Structure 1
Amino acid sequence: MKLIYQQMLAFFILIMTLLLILGFSFFHVTREMIYENTWEQLEGYAYSLKTQSMMIQNENGKQVFTLDVDKLRTSEVLLSNQQVHFTIYTSRTNVLYPEQGYQSVISAKDWTKLKNGEILRRKSDLGWRGGDRQNVQNQQRMTDILAPCFDSSGKLVAVISVGAKVSSIQESFTKIQKNLLYVLLLSAFLGIIISYFLAHYVTKRISKLRKATRAVANGNFDVKVIDNKRDELDDLANDFNKMTVSLKKSNEEIKVQEQRRRQFMADAAHEMRTPLTTINGLLEGLAYDAIPEEDKGKSIELMRNETKRLIRLVNENLDYEKIRSGQISLRLSNFNGMNVLRNVQEQLRKKASESGDSIEVNGPEKLDVYADYDRFVQIVFNITQNAIQFTENGIITISAERGHRCSIFRVSDNGIGMSDEQLKNIWERYYKADPSRKNTKYGESGLGLAIVQQLMEMNKGKVEVISKLGVGTTFTLIFPDER
């Protein structure tokens, strides 16, 4: 079943349920009001009969109960035109007036209540013409009241029963039921129309979201749904718009990363092909004894360097994938960071001198840092090596100092520097600050700084960089203390 029909059915059931509850309540209240009004009217007739046609006189010191029969007959004629009948009892079974009027059974319990001064109201009581209980045709269902009459001493001398046929009241009920049925039918028709418009309004907004979702699925991330900030559907539209913005950014990022990956694959193939060609040529020269004896040592050394270069390319890619996938676990501890800086200085001194660079280390004799030792070495090594690659005949300065609940390390150079555009992308995978330069001097894989950023996050640290084109670059590493 389509959503619009489901919504229509739900709204229609809700509307009809409310209408039925209101209709039943209205009918019940009206029914009670009709009985209440009828009883009050019958009590009024009983009071009139009591005051106008019934008398208690003193004769020889005794109170005698008498009736004004003429007035009673007049009242009987007037009330019969309104289908109202009355009967006067002197006991439960003794009828004083009229002899052939409608009579009903008064139970002993009811008679006791009458003696206590209660006025009884009965919704449905079986009445019949006097002395003719067996004739079913003369029996009538009556709605009546029983009103007691007392003498001056408080003795019950008579009971006036005034009743109207139940059929008369039922006719009123029937009219009300018919009118109520017509109203319900009209309301049901209006309910269907209202349900349709309500369901159409809701499903129309959902259909817009569906069309927008289909557009996004087809690759259109510029689609936007109107958000009026009114209800949950508008909240959903707002979330959808945020999702499309995020997907658009992700899609653009994927394209950029894919382009860089392709560029990296081309660069890596180029970088690997050169050392492999060199190694293959030297091996063939050695195999065919084409290399002079005095040059064989240089050839072997060249092959070793080219092999190390290939290993670095492979290791950087493997390291990054392990870090990104969370396969590397850290062992955080406190150690002297200055020892690491001095060791890196010694390891890279030769490489720096090949570019005419020098490495200086400044800082206290001892500076504790809380991090994973091996990854800390890798971070400092990568950044220092990166500084050497982009500096010629310059100075690389590694400094350290104590901060507020943290250890701060800086690697500065006076190399070629970077533009603002380059600074935005240096942490991206496969990015090279100067892609026009394909030699290894300006980065072999473009993964070094991406690895640094990932490792700093794993160590709960922070890395910042400032650079100016043609002036130099400074990397700041902040490692928080153990908490």
Structure 2
Amino acid sequence: MKLIYKQMMGFFAVILTCIVIVGLLFINVTTKMLYTNTWTQLQNYSDSLIEDSMRYDENTKQFEGLTTVPLQNNARLLARQNVHFTIYSKQNKISYSSSEFATKVSKADWKKLKQGKTVHKMMATAVKTKTSSKTSSAKEKADDSRPQMTEVVRPYFYKGKLVAVVSIGAYVSDIQGNVQQIKNNLWIAFVISSLISLILSYFFARSTTKRIDKMRIATHQITHGNYDVKLDLSGRDEITELSNDFGKMAGSLQESQEEIKRQEERRRQFMADAAHEMRTPLTTINGLLEGLEYDAIPEEDKAQSIKLMQNDTKRLIRLVNDNLDYEKIRTNQFTMERKVFNASEVLNNLSEQLNKKAENQGDKINVDAPDSLMTYADYDRFVQVIFNIVQNAIQFTTNGKITLEAEKVDTGSQFKISDTGIGMTDEQVKNIWERFYKADRSRMNTEYGESGLGLAIVHQLVDLHGGTIEVTSEINKGTTFTIYFPDREHAKH
């Protein structure tokens, strides 16, 4: 069964149940109200009967009985309204009856009456007070029974003494006739309401399934590769929330697809860059080997050729090792031994080691650090990070200045390495952490930093320490790397 029909049946069942419950409650309340109104009216009739027919002794002021003529007149009037009454004496004997029918007052009811309580009977069956003969048949006795009545049995007192009891009743069939008329009207209203509720259920269900259909169509589009799907569903219900989540999911899938494409492009670029990086030294080595094989290289140049092959071989080894290191770091196969050491000494040592390379570029290295800066890190990896960034600064700076700054911060140590080199664009800054990416392709064949993996490894190492590394750069003005290493209490373990 389709969802629209299930929802229709659900809505229809709920509405129908409500209509039935309301209808039953209405009939029940109406029935009680009809009986209550009838009892009130009967009670008023009873009071009028006693007031009209009560007889007193003028001298003694004693109750003498009930006058028959007013009772007979009232009996004729009430009979036209199908109301009958019976008057009982204080001894529970019938004093007067407006018809041949009367109900018996039980002992329990008589006890209540003596206490001044009025007894209301919803259903009471009366029998004839006189039988036609003792030999009447059972069928005739059955015919003697009259229809059920609703009655009010009311006591009357004079000077605190019970003087009369009036049992007055109306045919239940009259009340039931009114109830039946109400039921008929309700049945017509029920049929009309059912048709209206069925139509409303369809529109309610359709409004829901329409929104679900939109989501189904959107899902179908996504399965065919169209992730640019927008759902505009109004409302504040769960379906609207689901559509919002669906839109976010579609957006995430779109971003994932774009990221997959970017990663695939990077993979192709990586393979091309790796092949390019390896091809140059391999081509050089192969050419020199062929020259040596065929004695095409003069004797005085052979030593230089061997040195070139050694350098290119070392370059290939560094390239392979850098790739292995990068993969180990990326796949968490890299172990570190962190300890506390004086980072200022490391900066001064690195400055001395790289000073010669800096002078070859016409650069000057300055260190601005306190005498003691205790830093928590893996010593060798810390040296590797700073070394790579400083030599990268030397590579891209000519006749400039490279500054190494260090300071203690609240939760660790912070280092800034600034240069006055060629700088980078925003696009270059965004991509420098990629493997084999080089901001300046013209400097690919330098003797240091040639693999394009240094900064990628630096980024991974800083992440492993739980630190951060940020870059700011401006074209032709220079670049600044800011590295943060957390202390022991805040380090990632």
In the superposition, the TM-score normalised over structure 1's length comes to: 0.86
> Per the alignment, do residues 450 and 239 of structure 1 end up closer, same or farther by CA in structure 2, a change over 3 Å counting?
farther
Q: Once the 2 structures are TM-superposed, how far is the Cα of residue 362 of structure 1 from its aligned partner? A: 3.7
Cα distance in structure 2, aligned partners of 1:329 and 1:127: 105
Residue 208 of structure 1: which of 214, 220, 227 is its match?
214
Match of 1:111 in 2: 110
Residue 276 of structure 2: which of 270, 287, 291 is its match?
270
Cα distance in structure 1, aligned partners of 2:24 and 2:325: 77
Cα distance in structure 2, aligned partners of 1:289 and 1:268: 32
**Partner-residue secondary structure (3-state), 1:77:** helix
Match of 2:51 in 1: 51
> Per the alignment, do residues 470 and 151 of structure 1 end up closer, same or farther by CA in structure 2, a change over 3 Å counting?
closer
Match of 1:151 in 2: 158
Structure 1 vs Structure 2: percent identity of aligned residues? 53
Q: Once the 2 structures are TM-superposed, how far is the Cα of residue 295 of structure 1 from its aligned partner? A: 6.7
Cα distance in structure 1, aligned partners of 2:56 and 2:323: 122
* 1:468 corresponds to 2:474: yes
Tell whether the 8 Å contact from 2:119 to 2:152 is kept in structure 1 after alignment: yes
Amino acid at match of 2:466: K
Which has the larger displacement, 252-261 or 109-118?
A: 252-261
Q: Once the 2 structures are TM-superposed, how far is the Cα of residue 42 of structure 1 from its aligned partner? A: 0.8
Cα distance in structure 1, aligned partners of 2:278 and 2:357: 20
Q: Unaligned regions of 5+ residues in structure 1, if any?
A: none
Tell whether the 8 Å contact from 1:56 to 1:151 is kept in structure 2 after alignment: no
Amino acid at match of 1:147: R
What do residues 394-445 of structure 1 show as CA deviations (whole Å, max 9, x unaligned)? 5543332334554221222333321233223323455332457764679655
CA-atom RMSD in angstroms: 3.4
**Partner-residue secondary structure (3-state), 1:140:** coil
What do residues 375-408 of structure 1 show as CA deviations (whole Å, max 9, x unaligned)? 4233223322322443456554333233455422
User: How many matched pairs?
Assistant: 481
Tell whether the 8 Å contact from 2:63 to 2:158 is kept in structure 1 after alignment: no
**Partner-residue secondary structure (3-state), 1:163:** strand
Q: Once the 2 structures are TM-superposed, how far is the Cα of residue 33 of structure 1 from its aligned partner? A: 0.6
Match of 1:76 in 2: 75
Residue 409 of structure 1: which of 400, 407, 415 is its match?
415
Tell whether the 8 Å contact from 2:347 to 2:404 is kept in structure 1 after alignment: yes
> Per the alignment, do residues 311 and 182 of structure 1 end up closer, same or farther by CA in structure 2, a change over 3 Å counting?
farther
Match of 1:141 in 2: 148
Cα distance in structure 2, aligned partners of 1:103 and 1:435: 122
Cα distance in structure 1, aligned partners of 2:330 and 2:103: 98
* 1:365 corresponds to 2:371: yes
Q: Once the 2 structures are TM-superposed, how far is the Cα of residue 263 of structure 1 from its aligned partner? A: 1.2
Which has the larger displacement, 104-113 or 313-322?
A: 313-322
What do residues 156-208 of structure 1 show as CA deviations (whole Å, max 9, x unaligned)? 22210111122222222222222222222222211121122122222222322
Q: Once the 2 structures are TM-superposed, how far is the Cα of residue 18 of structure 1 from its aligned partner? A: 2.3
In the superposition, the TM-score normalised over structure 2's length comes to: 0.84
**Partner-residue secondary structure (3-state), 2:261:** helix
Which has the larger displacement, 239-248 or 82-91?
A: 239-248
Match of 2:186 in 1: 180
Q: Unaligned regions of 5+ residues in structure 2, if any?
A: none
> Per the alignment, do residues 2 and 51 of structure 1 end up closer, same or farther by CA in structure 2, a change over 3 Å counting?
same
What do residues 313-372 of structure 1 show as CA deviations (whole Å, max 9, x unaligned)? 334344444444445466554321123334544665676577666655442332112334
Amino acid at match of 1:397: T
Cα distance in structure 2, aligned partners of 1:477 and 1:298: 41
Cα distance in structure 2, aligned partners of 1:172 and 1:26: 13
Tell whether the 8 Å contact from 1:221 to 1:245 is kept in structure 2 after alignment: yes
Cα distance in structure 1, aligned partners of 2:15 and 2:91: 53
> Per the alignment, do residues 188 and 445 of structure 1 end up closer, same or farther by CA in structure 2, a change over 3 Å counting?
farther
> Per the alignment, do residues 441 and 78 of structure 1 end up closer, same or farther by CA in structure 2, a change over 3 Å counting?
farther
